Amino acid sequence: MPQGSAKEARRRMPEKMKRTTVVLITGHPGSGKTTLAEYLTQRLKLPLTCRDQIKETLLDTLGWATAEWTHQLSIASWALLYQQVERLLRAGVDQIVESNFDPKYANAHWARLMQQYTMRLLQVRCESRPEVLLARYRGRIADGTRHPGHNDQSSDVVFHDMIRQGPLDWIDVESEHLAVDTSELAIADYVDVVERVNRFIMCWE
């Protein structure tokens, strides 16, 4: 089936067959999850919610004078992300959502959503070798492409320890899993991921 056709095909399905699909993109900072999420949303024509974009809008609007204030905005960005996810679920809209989901905090949120809505979840976890993650992380700080409000420089040691523990765990809810090694991801690999995600969206039970 051609890419981008999932949304149109779903519209033609009988109402009783429809189940909303959420494609959840997760992984450590620097793992390429935002790049992959934006590529997927462009090719599949699905709405995308990125937590960093929400947080950066808050930072630009409200400032980032102190670390404590920045932390509060981070908490607010998570609340706004789940609010947007739920709005699209209520509307029955397939969607892509992207952030570094820590199961310790995410399990309860997604368990509630899975219980409340008729939905299918595909977790796509971006993974890279530790040295690649660290190089990307430090590179973004050095070249200024990362929003300064994230205060990344002060958390370098924390990030280093985090990536040494391996990829983030999967969120503990009923879902399909797809691990993507982004250490040397090429455009051909992106196309393959799009095809696999599209097949999941089209696989109605």
Cα-Cα-Cα-Cα dihedral sign, residues 167, 130, 143, 156: positive
Cα dist from 19 to 12, 126, 129, whole Å: 13, 25, 35
Residue 204 included in any domain = no
Residue 83 domain flag? yes
Asked if residue 53 belongs to a domain, the reply is yes
Q: Is 72 among the domain residues?
A: yes
Least confident of 9-18, 124-133, 173-182: 9-18
Q: Give pLDDT tens digits for 27-73.
A: 998 899 999 999 999 999 999 999 999 999 999 899 877 888 888 99
pLDDT one-digit tens code per residue, 87-111: 999 999 999 999 999 999 999 999 9
Domain containing 145 equals 21-199
Q: Residue 4 falls within a domain, yes or no?
A: no
**Is pLDDT above 80 for 175?**
yes
The answer to whether residues 47 and 30 touch, using CB atoms and an 8 Å cutoff, is no
Domain for residue 16, yes or no?
A: no
CATH of the domain at 84: 3.40.50.300
Predicted pLDDT of residue 16: 39
Cβ burial, residue 157 (10 Å; 0-12/13-18/19+): exposed
Based on the structure, what is the number of domains in the chain?
A: 1
Which is it for the CA torsion 56, 62, 68, 74, positive or negative?
Answer: negative
